[in-house]
Amino acid sequence: MGKKIIILGAGFGGLCISNILRKNLDYTHEVIIIDKKDYFMMGLTNLWILDGRKKMDNSKIPLKNLESKGITFIHDEITKIDTKSKQIKMLHQVDHLYYDFLVIALGAEMSTNMINGFTKTNSFNLYDGESIPALRKKILSLEKGKIAIVIMGFPYKCPPAPYESAFIIDQMICNINRRNKIDVDIYFPSQLPLPVAGKQPNSKLVFMLKKQNINLFPNHKLKKIYKNNLEFHNGAKKEYNILVGIPFHFPPPVLKKSGLVEESGNWISVNKSTLETRFKDIFAIGDVTEIKINDTISIPKAGIFAEGQARSVASQIINKIGIASEEYNHILQFDGKGFCFMDTGNGKAGLIDTDFYNRNGPVTILKEPSIVYDKKKINFEKQRIKEWL
Ligand SMILES: Cc1cc2nc3c(=O)[nH]c(=O)nc-3n(C[C@H](O)[C@H](O)[C@H](O)COP(=O)(O)OP(=O)(O)OC[C@H]3O[C@@H](n4cnc5c(N)ncnc54)[C@H](O)[C@@H]3O)c2cc1C
């Protein structure tokens, strides 16, 4: 009998796993993916829209493309996951959908509204693609003053992204010969810019930022915004002309409503190698999960980890119900490894390489920025879009 595999969320993790499953399972098995959005746009594209390499219109890829691959796409909002009857309820579909296997890849919700005074005219959410074209315009029209990049809280996805935006903004205002009239300030609530990483990447990153005269303000947790001032929990008050906010992240409300998030936690707890949840036949991957490495470090919220986790879950489902190709004919355990290319302006990118399950403790290395890594970053996006959609 054919099985029904339902994937919730057509982002990084959901697209990766649905494609692997469809390629490796015969058509007696159904692969269904549900998303409230009807397009996919990779998070890193925000930075390329900011630096002018890309435009919003040609960055969104329609999810209906999945249909030509034999993956059923349902454009709807998931309102309930019933773990007992194994059914999914949606906002518009009258019928509930039954699943044999469920993969939750709903990502993280984000909001800047938790901070009083985040106004639309000169405050921008770096993580909302729609607000980037206006941010770019605003930066290019600023004659003099201060651009404040503010990390509002932890965890947030792609830990290097705020610093990438600092390098990009630095370069943008250098290009228009206004760098000596505009400060670039970056505020973060922790002591180190990348608290999930060790000494080497932090020292190197601080060195690189300082070299570009980007001002760092550690231990600054934003409390409120009024007029053109930022007030922090440590009592500091700072002026700004343009605010680039990295929003608060929280789990999609449907998870709490459906009992998938434990009372004591915020995110879905999973087995760190298999991504199984405490519910039978339900896996969770990507930003919705929390995998603690130790008291202070968890696996960062990043697409590359969602992808590694997708591969592991796919291998388990395939081995349970199908005849796998060579690549998936054994169970792949999520190994905690990942990498990301960090934009540093001037057509260059660094490489951050991580191994979170290393038996001697987590290892993270930041490699020297180069044109080669920038090209690899471009390919990283291109290849995935081509393969998934
Ligand atoms: C500026 C920026 C730069 C980044 N750069 C990188 C990078 O270089 N490398 C990297 O690895 N990662 C990067 N990331 C992080 C990466 O984008 C995320 O970590 C990744 O998308 C997480 O994948 P996911 O599948 O868990 O969730 P997502 O990709 O966020 O997908 C979740 C999906 O679920 C859908 N959804 C949520 N709730 C519901 C609901 N109730 N009903 C229906 N659908 C719902 C959403 O619409 C969404 O499409 C970056 C992110 C940003 C913002």
Report the pLDDT value the prediction gives residue 115, as an integer from 0 to 100.
86
Taking alpha carbons only, the member of 139, 204, 128 closest to residue 174 is 139
Q: Ligand 1: distance of its center to the CA of 112 in Å?
A: 17
Integer-rounded Cα Rg, in Å, for the chain is: 21
Largest CA distance in the chain: 69
Closest-CA residue, ligand 1 atom 33, reads 9
* CA atoms of 132 and 51, how far apart (whole Å): 10
Residue 7 CB coordination number (10 Å): 29
| Pairing mode, strands 61-62 and 39-40 | antiparallel
* CA atoms of 361 and 359, how far apart (whole Å): 5
* CA atoms of 230 and 309, how far apart (whole Å): 39
Q: Does the Cβ of 25 fall within 6 Å of ligand 1?
A: no
Q: Does the Cβ of 155 fall within 6 Å of ligand 1?
A: no
pLDDT band at residue 324 under the 50/70/90 scheme: low
Report the pLDDT value the prediction gives residue 276, as an integer from 0 to 100.
98
Closest-CA residue, ligand 1 atom 35, reads 9
Mean pLDDT across 38-55: 97
Q: Does the Cβ of 304 fall within 6 Å of ligand 1?
A: yes
- Asked if pLDDT for residue 206 goes beyond 90, the answer is yes
Tell me what the pLDDT averaged over the chain comes to.
96
Q: Ligand 1: distance of its center to the CA of 43 in Å?
A: 7
Closest-CA residue, ligand 1 atom 19, reads 302
Which numeric CATH code is attached to 4-108+251-335? 3.50.50.60
The proportion of the chain whose per-residue pLDDT surpasses 70, expressed as a percent, equals 100
Q: Does the Cβ of 47 fall within 6 Å of ligand 1?
A: yes
Q: Ligand 1: distance of its center to the CA of 371 in Å?
A: 26
Q: Does the Cβ of 189 fall within 6 Å of ligand 1?
A: no
pLDDT band at residue 329 under the 50/70/90 scheme: confident
Report the pLDDT value the prediction gives residue 116, as an integer from 0 to 100.
83
Taking alpha carbons only, the member of 76, 49, 50 closest to residue 63 is 76
Q: Does the Cβ of 164 fall within 6 Å of ligand 1?
A: no
Residue 236 Rama label (left phi>0; alpha psi -120 to 50; beta)? beta
Q: Does the Cβ of 36 fall within 6 Å of ligand 1?
A: yes
- Asked if pLDDT for residue 168 goes beyond 90, the answer is yes
pLDDT band at residue 284 under the 50/70/90 scheme: very high
Taking alpha carbons only, the member of 235, 234, 252 closest to residue 189 is 234
Tens digits of per-residue pLDDT, 331-340? 999 999 999 9
Classify 269 as helix, strand or coil: strand
Q: Does the Cβ of 10 fall within 6 Å of ligand 1?
A: yes
| Pairing mode, strands 348-355 and 337-345 | antiparallel
CATH topology of domain 111-248: FAD/NAD(P)-binding domain (3.50.50)
- Asked if pLDDT for residue 323 goes beyond 80, the answer is no
Closest-CA residue, ligand 1 atom 29, reads 11
Report the pLDDT value the prediction gives residue 330, as an integer from 0 to 100.
86
Q: Ligand 1: distance of its center to the CA of 12 in Å?
A: 6
Report the pLDDT value the prediction gives residue 229, as an integer from 0 to 100.
94
Residue position matching structure tokens 């915004």: 225
Q: Does the Cβ of 344 fall within 6 Å of ligand 1?
A: no
Q: Ligand 1: distance of its center to the CA of 64 in Å?
A: 18
- Asked if pLDDT for residue 365 goes beyond 70, the answer is yes
- Asked if pLDDT for residue 114 goes beyond 90, the answer is no
Q: Does the Cβ of 16 fall within 6 Å of ligand 1?
A: no
Burial of 106 per CB tally in 10 Å (0-12, 13-18, 19+):
buried
Mean pLDDT across 353-358: 98
pLDDT band at residue 262 under the 50/70/90 scheme: confident
Mean pLDDT across 135-141: 98
Q: Ligand 1: distance of its center to the CA of 248 in Å?
A: 14
Report the pLDDT value the prediction gives residue 118, as an integer from 0 to 100.
87
What letter would DSSP give residue 276?
Answer: B
- Asked if pLDDT for residue 272 goes beyond 80, the answer is yes
End-to-end CA distance of the chain: 28
Q: Does the Cβ of 90 fall within 6 Å of ligand 1?
A: no
Domain 111-248 in the same topology as domain 4-108+251-335? yes
Mean pLDDT across 151-164: 97
Taking alpha carbons only, the member of 369, 329, 336 closest to residue 352 is 369
CA dist 381 → 12, 187, 278 (Å): 11, 29, 33
* CA atoms of 372 and 338, how far apart (whole Å): 18
Tens digits of per-residue pLDDT, 72-111? 999 999 999 999 999 999 999 989 999 999 999 999 999 9
Atom of ligand 1 nearest to the CA of 42: 17
Q: Where are the domains positioned within the chain? A: 4-108+251-335, 111-248
